[in-house]
A and B are shown apart, each in its own frame.
Chain A
């Protein structure tokens, strides 16, 4: 009985046979927890999805992307609309009477609607469990325990609990398809991979951020063939391409896109403006913890410093010419009045007082630049690890430099990274930083006091379990000695300090009504969150980038 109970470890591969590695128990346990969350807080996203249920149910297909009774218009791709339509077919009479399917400006509904929609999230999330169970079952015997740790860390992720089961969205179900694509890529089932990813894309277009990596990987691994390539003339380039494969891949992708978009051919312009609303500001209402949050913060600090200590401005002006920073203090004051940003700084459109304004084009170029950097190694060497690494870095690039990024997009980074982390001990530090900072950055989504303890305690216990389990299951690579221990300690310190940060901000908010000073800095708590978390995420990105670009043995 004690024979193999030393914990999932590679050297115990023999005794692993009796373990089932089934996610069943985790599902039951998390199910109980999710049901208990039903009566709790939900965000406006709940009303958004309710409205989509109503409009797909009540209106003909052509009207879906035109309708605008409610302000929460349909802005997900058609597959998601079909999915909502499908769900609306199962609305029981009692829920219907409750106002679940009323097409109105502001929904009036009660507990039955809440229960119904919450249950649809719980049921659709089963797909996530199924896909991850397939991932576990298909992995080789010596990596089963590592796969199991990864899979269970995803299904129990505080991200899904916070976003899906409290805040309300369907991410568990959507990420199941992305994970399906990753698993298919691992087993070299390229067509399945393409189909899964295209489907995911047609459900939620945020996956577009990961598309470069999939494109490069499928192109290099499935379509191009450098095996027998010998350059004699340019005609030979034709034989570089495996035409039947290209044809198969193309038709799979095209068919899925056709099924998705063809019915909406006549309303395509509406659909596209709904999907890509470029009129939004650089940062979301709450600064997602990315590069621009730091940029805005630096701007605020500089404004403050320049106004209080004009000498600094004089000094800097000697080195930096006026287009980059304002020429005089008066100009700064003028700008402040025009933008009326002051200390609040959290309006829809952010203007910078000292630093140059940021154009959408610039963010787009930056994102693209780092994505291309991430993708190039895949073109040279399309291994699964390389692919997942590039996927993670694509997610990072879009999250850190993108235009109008939501904090929820951090899941696009954490989930691919989870599949990578067990391959090398040195990846654990960046992963811990990312997971800790990323999940904490989701906390402001649940601003109500009733959720405070839940989100904190659940995330902490998740971190305790999986930081421990990942360390147990990851391989110690030959190059582990090159690890910089000091940085690891620093990362650990940073992670532990997240807890006092969260508690402090909560106290700040609780005492806000009492003190004038705190009211003046109404959004100080959110700013602290995004600055502190963005530091962690940025460091994690740099750590991973370093290993990705300069550490050969890791990616073989």
Chain B
């Protein structure tokens, strides 16, 4: 019982993160810890950035790196009316306007350094080392300005609310910032997801503070950066709606302010588009953003449609319209519980759970899902590292590993295997997940474990595993399956007839785990409805 209580107090007690940050425990030096985790988070992002990026040297289309660079090129040189029309076959802009503005600013800055990097047309496929460094730098800058402060604010707010020690808050922040999937996708593969996710966290922070209109504005900005954050929208909608009409009572001022904020930000985002090219231009943006003419799924992805496609060939049996209808219905049924609970119990501690459940059902059942979209459900899940419940932490840590695992085929294509394994190891080790590897026959200074923190020599930290036997079995089995996948992928060639067999195996493992997690999440949602932020 004593150990259980201790666990509740310091969920990461005796983990390497705890070990590294505990010297900063004295009151006068706590603020050092903040610098230290932020700097190390940035250093590790820089180091990952030394590696390859998506589509490096792949003619003629390259990859996401080229797409982002190309958008800087077209936003810089073309009038706004042309942005969503120009040569759509070659990485036409298909993200909402905020991405375009973001690209414009970064392109402006970059062409001050070197105009050739973003010269119209002639710069296509440019990937010289200095350009790569510049673009990597812009990702780090965007993340340092948006995502990292947002996460720090979130963890500090929760920590202060619950009377957690500052070091505990920083450990949670570090656990969130060292989430490997986002690091590898943004700084390895190359994208700017941290902007969208950062804006979403700001929206959540505003909800924690009870600023509803700013929350709505932040969320619309997030939506205006990447349509993927639409996965969150039902929850924000139901939460805000419920807060203004229902709990505790009908609140006209709040409802109006939310509506006005939403409309204003939307209008502001679309105004340049409308003013330059009229309504047609706005429609084109919508068409580009929602590619319903594409297939049910594009690459192999760990969701329901891709995995069940092995058994049911949807594209032969059904028309595209039917499939669209199915996916919409399935998604709607999927997020209904989260939506309803968020509406009936719009409490702050429900936010991460509801957002996770809702976005996960989008990921599992909606149309045209990319493997990278897992970052969207992963954000609220990772924010749960602030939880003090051992079971929750275990589930979060597990699903983070699974999600990172499902990104492996993509990262392999990008040539980031080394970074994948290092980050997989590092992130788990920091959380203390490798503490089961503790040989007892070695002299104490050679035994892995806390070295500077004040932890008894006999204390053994457990790895993150829930208390229930069922979940223990599930998690251990899934880890074994993942290991088996890596062994197969490394040593065995897939049969010539099925070259994608290993990738499908990867997706199947991922899908299984995501579904189980989603069910647990929904169960948690129901049981948490009458609790408070202290029980998060």
Least CB distance, B168 to chain A, in whole angstroms: 12
Least CB distance, B197 to chain A, in whole angstroms: 21
User: Are A468 and B29 in touch, CB under 8 angstroms?
Assistant: yes
User: Are B50 and A36 in touch, CB under 8 angstroms?
Assistant: yes
Inside 8 A of B429's CB, which chain A residues have their CB? Answer: 28, 32
Question: How distant is the Cα of A468 from the Cα of B39 in the complex, in angstroms?
Answer: 15
User: Are A148 and B445 in touch, CB under 8 angstroms?
Assistant: no
Within 8 A of B (CB), among A360-398: none
Inside 8 A of A1's CB, which chain B residues have their CB? Answer: 6, 10, 454
- Supposing A5-B454, A36-B48 touch, asked if A461 and B35 sit within 8 A by C-beta, the answer is yes
- Supposing A7-B29, A25-B451 touch, asked if A20 and B457 sit within 8 A by C-beta, the answer is yes
Does residue A476 face the partner (Cβ distance < 8 Å to B)?
Answer: no
Shortest Cβ distance from B134 into A: residue: A449
Least CB distance, A354 to chain B, in whole angstroms: 38
Shortest Cβ distance from A35 into B: residue: B422
- Supposing A28-B429, A461-B40, A510-B113 touch, asked if A20 and B449 sit within 8 A by C-beta, the answer is yes
Does residue A127 face the partner (Cβ distance < 8 Å to B)?
Answer: no
Shortest Cβ distance from A32 into B: residue: B426
What is the 8 Å Cβ interface bit string for chain A, positions 510-527, against chain B (1 contact, 0 not)? 110100000000000000
Inside 8 A of A510's CB, which chain B residues have their CB? Answer: 113, 130
Does residue B44 face the partner (Cβ distance < 8 Å to A)?
Answer: yes
Does residue A40 face the partner (Cβ distance < 8 Å to B)?
Answer: yes
Which one of A207-215, A451-459, A535-543 is at the B interface? A451-459
Which one of B19-27, B394-402, B487-495 is at the A interface? B19-27
Does residue B484 face the partner (Cβ distance < 8 Å to A)?
Answer: no
Inside 8 A of A40's CB, which chain B residues have their CB? Answer: 47, 50
Within 8 A of A (CB), among B88-104: none
Inside 8 A of B447's CB, which chain A residues have their CB? Answer: 20, 22, 24
Q: Which of A3, A8, A20, A33 meets B43, CB within 8 Å?
A: A33
Of residues B22, B47, B446, B453, which shows the largest number of chain A Cβ atoms within 10 Å of its Cβ?
B47
Question: How distant is the Cα of A41 from the Cα of B40 in the complex, in angstroms?
Answer: 20
Does residue A192 face the partner (Cβ distance < 8 Å to B)?
Answer: no
User: Are B51 and A18 in touch, CB under 8 angstroms?
Assistant: no
What count of chain A residues pass the 8 Å CB interface test?
50
Shortest Cβ distance from B452 into A: residue: A19
Does residue A21 face the partner (Cβ distance < 8 Å to B)?
Answer: yes
Does residue A448 face the partner (Cβ distance < 8 Å to B)?
Answer: yes
Least CB distance, A545 to chain B, in whole angstroms: 32
Least CB distance, B28 to chain A, in whole angstroms: 10
Question: How distant is the Cα of A24 from the Cα of B451 in the complex, in angstroms?
Answer: 7
- Supposing A5-B25, A24-B449, A25-B19 touch, asked if A33 and B133 sit within 8 A by C-beta, the answer is no
User: Are A32 and B25 in touch, CB under 8 angstroms?
Assistant: no
Does residue A38 face the partner (Cβ distance < 8 Å to B)?
Answer: yes
Question: How distant is the Cα of A5 from the Cα of B27 in the complex, in angstroms?
Answer: 11
What is the 8 Å Cβ interface bit string for chain B, positions 31-68, against chain A (1 contact, 0 not)? 01001100110111011111110000000000000000
Does residue A348 face the partner (Cβ distance < 8 Å to B)?
Answer: no
Q: Which of A3, A26, A133, A448 meets B445, CB within 8 Å?
A: A133
What is the 8 Å Cβ interface bit string for chain A, positions 451-493, against chain B (1 contact, 0 not)? 0111001101100110011001000000000000000000000
Q: Which of A7, A19, A457 meets B39, CB within 8 Å?
A: A457
Least CB distance, B437 to chain A, in whole angstroms: 11
User: Are B26 and A6 in touch, CB under 8 angstroms?
Assistant: yes
Does residue A357 face the partner (Cβ distance < 8 Å to B)?
Answer: no
User: Are A450 and B129 in touch, CB under 8 angstroms?
Assistant: yes
Inside 8 A of B455's CB, which chain A residues have their CB? Answer: 18
Within 8 A of B (CB), among A114-149: 133, 136-137, 148
Does residue B253 face the partner (Cβ distance < 8 Å to A)?
Answer: no
- Supposing A7-B29, A453-B42, A464-B35 touch, asked if A33 and B446 sit within 8 A by C-beta, the answer is no
Within 8 A of B (CB), among A1-60: 1, 3-8, 15, 18-26, 28-29, 32-33, 35-41
Question: How distant is the Cα of A39 from the Cα of B429 in the complex, in angstroms?
Answer: 23
- Supposing A19-B452, A36-B44 touch, asked if A7 and B26 sit within 8 A by C-beta, the answer is yes
Question: How distant is the Cα of A511 from the Cα of B366 in the complex, in angstroms?
Answer: 48
- Supposing A3-B454, A464-B36 touch, asked if A28 and B16 sit within 8 A by C-beta, the answer is yes
Question: How distant is the Cα of A510 from the Cα of B131 in the complex, in angstroms?
Answer: 11
Does residue B485 face the partner (Cβ distance < 8 Å to A)?
Answer: no
User: Are A19 and B451 in touch, CB under 8 angstroms?
Assistant: yes
User: Are B40 and A21 in touch, CB under 8 angstroms?
Assistant: no
Shortest Cβ distance from B29 into A: residue: A468
User: Are A5 and B445 in touch, CB under 8 angstroms?
Assistant: no
Least CB distance, B419 to chain A, in whole angstroms: 6
User: Are A454 and B47 in touch, CB under 8 angstroms?
Assistant: yes
Least CB distance, A428 to chain B, in whole angstroms: 16
Question: How distant is the Cα of A163 from the Cα of B256 in the complex, in angstroms?
Answer: 61
Question: How distant is the Cα of A512 from the Cα of B440 in the complex, in angstroms?
Answer: 59
What is the 8 Å Cβ interface bit string for chain B, positions 411-433, against chain A (1 contact, 0 not)? 00000001100110110011000
User: Are A6 and B25 in touch, CB under 8 angstroms?
Assistant: yes
Does residue B444 face the partner (Cβ distance < 8 Å to A)?
Answer: yes
User: Are A22 and B451 in touch, CB under 8 angstroms?
Assistant: yes
Inside 8 A of A19's CB, which chain B residues have their CB? Answer: 450-454
Question: How distant is the Cα of A499 from the Cα of B313 in the complex, in angstroms?
Answer: 60
Inside 8 A of A23's CB, which chain B residues have their CB? Answer: 445, 451
Does residue B243 face the partner (Cβ distance < 8 Å to A)?
Answer: no
Shortest Cβ distance from A464 into B: residue: B35
Of residues B129, B130, B137, B452, which shows the largest number of chain A Cβ atoms within 10 Å of its Cβ?
B452
Q: Which of A3, A32, A458, A472 meets B422, CB within 8 Å?
A: A32
Inside 8 A of B446's CB, which chain A residues have their CB? Answer: 22, 24
Shortest Cβ distance from A23 into B: residue: B451
What is the 8 Å Cβ interface bit string for chain B, positions 133-166, against chain A (1 contact, 0 not)? 1101100100000000000000000000000000
Inside 8 A of A454's CB, which chain B residues have their CB? Answer: 43, 46-47, 50
Question: How distant is the Cα of A133 from the Cα of B444 in the complex, in angstroms?
Answer: 12
Of residues A40, A453, A461, A465, which shows the largest number of chain B Cβ atoms within 10 Å of its Cβ?
A453
Inside 8 A of A468's CB, which chain B residues have their CB? Answer: 29, 32
Within 8 A of A (CB), among B364-404: none
- Supposing A19-B451, A449-B129, A510-B113 touch, asked if A33 and B50 sit within 8 A by C-beta, the answer is no
Inside 8 A of A448's CB, which chain B residues have their CB? Answer: 129, 133
Least CB distance, B133 to chain A, in whole angstroms: 4
Inside 8 A of A36's CB, which chain B residues have their CB? Answer: 44, 47-48, 50-51, 418-419, 422
Question: How distant is the Cα of A376 from the Cα of B130 in the complex, in angstroms?
Answer: 52
Q: Which of B39, B114, B137, B456 meets A461, CB within 8 Å?
A: B39
Of residues A449, A460, A510, which shows the largest number of chain B Cβ atoms within 10 Å of its Cβ?
A449
Inside 8 A of B444's CB, which chain A residues have their CB? Answer: 20, 22
Least CB distance, A89 to chain B, in whole angstroms: 25
Question: How distant is the Cα of A370 from the Cα of B159 in the complex, in angstroms?
Answer: 56
Inside 8 A of A460's CB, which chain B residues have their CB? Answer: 39
- Supposing A6-B25, A24-B447, A137-B445 touch, asked if A37 and B40 sit within 8 A by C-beta, the answer is no
User: Are A148 and B452 in touch, CB under 8 angstroms?
Assistant: yes
Question: How distant is the Cα of A39 from the Cα of B132 in the complex, in angstroms?
Answer: 14
Question: How distant is the Cα of A457 from the Cα of B46 in the complex, in angstroms?
Answer: 9
User: Are A458 and B23 in touch, CB under 8 angstroms?
Assistant: no
Inside 8 A of A24's CB, which chain B residues have their CB? Answer: 445-449, 451
Q: Which of B43, B113, B450, B454 meets A458, CB within 8 Å?
A: B43
- Supposing A5-B454, A38-B418 touch, asked if A450 and B50 sit within 8 A by C-beta, the answer is yes
Least CB distance, A504 to chain B, in whole angstroms: 15
User: Are B425 and A32 in touch, CB under 8 angstroms?
Assistant: yes
Inside 8 A of B42's CB, which chain A residues have their CB? Answer: 453, 457
Cβ contacts A to B, 13 pairs, < 8 Å: A5-B453, A7-B26, A18-B457, A19-B451, A23-B445, A24-B449, A25-B19, A36-B44, A39-B52, A148-B452, A450-B50, A454-B46, A468-B32
Q: Which 5 A-B pairs have the closest CB atoms?
A: A461-B39, A36-B47, A449-B133, A40-B50, A22-B451
List 6 other contacts, CB 8 Å, given A32-B425, A448-B129: A19-B453, A22-B444, A37-B50, A450-B49, A457-B46, A461-B36
* Chain B residues close to A by CB (< 8 Å): 6, 10, 16, 19-20, 22-23, 25-26, 29, 32, 35-36, 39-40, 42-44, 46-52, 113-114, 129-130, 132-134, 136-137, 140, 418-419, 422-423, 425-426, 429-430, 444-457
